[in-house]
Structure 1
């Protein structure tokens, strides 16, 4: 289902929750919702520039974000204001929930980066995940999170990543 109308794309509010608290909330254009995958587009919602060392997110960057109701991750295509692909930032999350115009996603600390050319694939924040206590408090969710990270890394390294987004 396309989410566009004569007035333009529908709007949703993306709500990223971490450890029971809202980490960030921002408006996004709802591009599509096929019942399993929800795709939105939004400008970089962070304050100023965030330099990770291997990529910089900065004002003007555009994120096309793919969320699934039945998968434990989201994939964010990151482009410059001019349209150049920087890469894909993947959050390991519980499956997304869209209620009305609010898209709620619970971040489980693990992340994956894949550069535009696919040569730089890196797992991120495994120390934060271990420190979160999730493996002890919710072993089923922790196992699903690790499996999701493994799946994304395998897809990224075997050039099967783009199939997720088509």
Structure 2
């Protein structure tokens, strides 16, 4: 698939869909698009602070997000307003669909957090994934989701997660 004709810095709309509904939509600036991987930069899109216990996302944080049209995940590098690396938040998703200036990503509940120093690698929301019923509705998608989470976890534990986005 050819790269889009959008120039770096172009404004895109990122739409995260869950269970058939838009969970969140926010603007992002295009960083790069090679036709397979799309990279954007966006400010923390929610009001206030979201404290996960292991990391806090807050106003001023900057996310450099990488979406693939052929992979079942996205990787988001998270930095503070002063560019201090917090870590990487990885969403397990269906491959991204890019249509003009709109990017649609279907969240499959599973997530992975990797701390800035790489010492902490956490699998997240496995209970939500089980409760979603995806394994019964779409066994192939569920298997791909688990495989994607396993792949990202292995890369993170080997210190190679950043090779995906460099």
Question: Aligning the two structures, in what range does the TM-score lie when normalised by the shorter sequence?
Answer: over 0.9
- Whether 2:87 is the aligned partner of 1:87: answer yes
User: What do the CA deviations read for 1:14-57 (whole angstroms, capped 9, x no partner)?
Assistant: 00000000000000001110011000000000121000000000
Secondary structure of the 2:38 match is strand
1: distance between equivalents of 2:158 and 2:139?
28
TM value normalised by structure 1: 0.96
TM value normalised by structure 2: 0.96
The list of structure 1 runs, each at least 4 consecutive aligned residues, that deviate by more than 4 angstroms after superposition, is: none
The runs of 5 or more residues in structure 2 that have no matched partner are: none
The runs of 5 or more residues in structure 1 that have no matched partner are: none
**What is the aligned-residue RMSD (CA, Å)?**
0.9
User: What do the CA deviations read for 1:117-144 (whole angstroms, capped 9, x no partner)?
Assistant: 0000000000000000000000000000
Determine the structure 2 residue equivalent to 1:110: 110
Secondary structure of the 2:64 match is strand
2: distance between equivalents of 1:52 and 1:162?
22
Determine the structure 2 residue equivalent to 1:146: 146
Secondary structure of the 2:118 match is coil
1: distance between equivalents of 2:54 and 2:66?
22
- Whether 2:81 is the aligned partner of 1:69: answer no
The structural deviation recorded for 1:3 is 2.7
Secondary structure of the 1:163 match is helix
Secondary structure of the 2:119 match is coil
Secondary structure of the 1:35 match is coil
Secondary structure of the 2:83 match is coil
2: distance between equivalents of 1:157 and 1:31?
27
Determine the structure 2 residue equivalent to 1:55: 55
Q: Give the count of matched residue pairs.
A: 162
